[in-house]
Amino acid sequence: MTEMTKSGYHHYIAELESNTEVFRFMFSEMPAQLYVWKPSAEEPCALEVLCLLLDEEKADFGNRMNQYLQGIFTENIHLDKKNWSVERKYMDQNFHEKLQEFLAQRKKTAEWLQSLENIQWKENQLGRKFAPVTAEMILTDWLSNDYTHIRQILHLKFDYIKNLS
């Protein structure tokens, strides 16, 4: 990975923040039937993607970054995301409430990240079974996760339209 300046990190944080509007648009402009429609039994519906985004925002990326910044990065948090949909009852959630909760959480996250000062973005801490972990790695993983979910939502919409024809 190339060296990034402080402004580079602020750019990544700004991307996370601007993705809030991408998600707002993608989910808001979605027909209600699509909230729970699945292209196959193995693939998630829009409601499950939305709930996962919210849980990742709070329990995964935000938590990992906070631990890292406090110097207490550990791998004692085992995230079993594959089972979150069932364990956390994603299909019983209200789509609109979860969307508002995610958008509010992302706004809070972006404000928190923008407020950080004097971050050692490339300073290593042990993690990932004793491989180095940096704040830069967490931030870029977070942003790439957004892009993965954006692509996932686009594919879901594409498959839905294709299914209607």
pLDDT at 150: 98
User: Do the bridges between strand 131-133 and strand 125-127 make them parallel or antiparallel, or are there none, so unpaired?
Assistant: antiparallel
Q: Is residue 109 part of a domain?
A: yes
User: Structurally, how many domains does the chain consist of?
Assistant: 1
Q: Where are the alpha helices (DSSP H) in 29-70?
A: 46-55, 62-69
Type and span of the H or E element at 147: helix 135-164
Instruction: Note the pLDDT of residue 146.
Output: 97
Residue 105 structural domain:
6-164
* Higher local confidence (pLDDT), 6 or 71: 71
Question: Is residue 57 situated within a structural domain?
Answer: yes
Structure tokens at 105: 């959480």
* 24, part of any domain: yes
Band of residue 84 on the pLDDT scale cut at 50, 70, 90: confident
Residue the block writes with tokens 């409601």: 47
The owner of tokens 């830069």 is 136
Question: Residue 127 forms beta bridges with which residues?
Answer: 131
Q: Quick one: pLDDT at residue 135?
A: 85
Least confident among 15-29, 47-61, 78-92, 144-158? 78-92
pLDDT in tens, 87-138: 889 999 999 999 999 999 999 999 999 998 888 777 766 555 656 778 888 8
Higher pLDDT, 59 or 25: 25
Q: Contact 136/122 with Cβ under 8 angstroms?
A: yes
The predicted structure's pLDDT at residue 1:
39
Per-residue pLDDT at 22 exceeds 80 = yes
Residue 1 lies in a domain: no
Give the model's pLDDT for residue 159.
95
Of 7-16, 75-84, 127-136, minimum mean pLDDT range: 75-84
In 63-89, which positions are buried (b, 16+ CB within 10 angstroms) versus exposed (e)?
Answer: ebbebbeeeebeeeeeeeeeebbeebe
| Residues 28, 81: Cα–Cα separation, whole Å | 25
pLDDT for res 2 = 43
CB 46 within 8 A of CB 30: yes
| Residue for token pair 């996932």 | 152
Q: Judge whether 138 lies within some domain.
A: yes
- We report the CATH number of the domain holding residue 62 as 1.20.120.450
Best CA proximity match to 61, nearest among 131, 98, 23, 108: 108
